[in-house]
Amino acid sequence: MTTAMPHRPARPAQLLASIATLGLVAVAAAGCSTLATTQAPEVTGTVGANGARPTEDEWRREAATWGERYRTNPNDPQAAIRYAQALRNTGQRAQAAAVLERASIEHPRNTDLLGAYGRALADIGNYKQALDVLGRAHQPDQPDWRILSAQGAVLDQMGRHAEAQSYYTTALKIVPDEPSVLSNLGLSYALAKDLPKAEETLRRATEMKSSDPRVRANLALVVGLQGRFNEAENIARADLPPETAAANVAYLKQMLSQPNDWKKLANPGAPAGKSRAEAKKPGRDARLSGDAISNL
């Protein structure tokens, strides 16, 4: 935020989609769910998906099932969360945010609901409000690493990378070596133009047994941005079915061929973006949505 290999390449929006809370905000893009967009974290960016996650058709069926339950009882927080998750994964992000807004009014202290709502707000670009809602979802005496990772993903979207990294670091104190948080942290370093540290962090994430294939795709991207294209291709292909490997490599080549935005990341001499407009680079699609924030 979960998805089966889509039949078409992921959009650039996925590439920097926070996977922070796999269950909170799946990386809803091009029919792919987020990395554990319901009970797992979100990753700041990912490419492609494998057969382990729901397909777009499956998400549409989820939307129909949970939509009916939500319409029958709109005050059911679980129905609202599941319906909104399915909506996000079928591209209906504004509707998902509206569903969760209504539910959060009825249940203002439901932290699961607030977490999902915050991620949905980030998904549609309402970063300031998303931070406020996620702040209300977070309880200092009972810290939730998924919320912390989602907060970091939102801050990355706003170009506030140093702050974002502090949130990921705090989350890692709760769940050391959690690959989704490490992936968000690694891509945060990449956005801040520290590619060596980004690579080091993403390699650490890929060593975890619970690592999602999209985390490795992030590593391939960062390696490719440093000019090691053959190595990046090998990373993108490793241990994947031929069709999935080919799709990942094609997407990797597509992203690395971007004439401006991605190449700016590979230029450590360029100033890191600070404004909201700059923070949306690389590309206006570079969403950190989390439940990474699919979880942002």
**Residue 5 domain-assigned?**
no
The verdict on whether omega for the bond into residue 41 sits within 30 degrees of 0, i.e. cis, is no
> Does residue 294 sit within a domain?
no
**Whole-model pTM over 0.85:** no
Residue 216 has what pLDDT? 85
Domain housing 108: 12-279
For 227, counting Cβ atoms within 10 Å of its Cβ (0-12 exposed, 13-18 middle, 19+ buried), the class is: exposed
Residue in this structure with the two tokens 């956005």, named with its chain if needed: 191
User: Does residue 284 lie within any of the structural domains?
Assistant: no
pLDDT tens sequence across 212-254: 778 888 899 999 999 999 999 999 888 778 888 888 888 888 8
∠ Cα 177 183 188 (to 5°): 120
- pLDDT, mean of residues 189-207: 94
Can you tell me the distance from the alpha carbon of 205 to that of 225, in angstroms, rounded to the nearest whole number?
A: 18
Spatial distance between the Cα atoms of 261 and 263, rounded to a whole number of angstroms: 5
Let me know if residue 4 belongs to a domain: no
Determine the average pLDDT of the residues in 49-73.
83
In a domain, 291, yes or no: no
Q: Which residue has the higher pLDDT, 27 or 260?
A: 260
Residue 288 lies in a domain: no
Residue 3 resides in a domain:
no
Rounded percentage of the chain residues whose pLDDT exceeds 90: 52
Q: What is the CATH number of the domain that holds 110?
A: 1.25.40.10
The tally of domains found in the chain comes to: 1
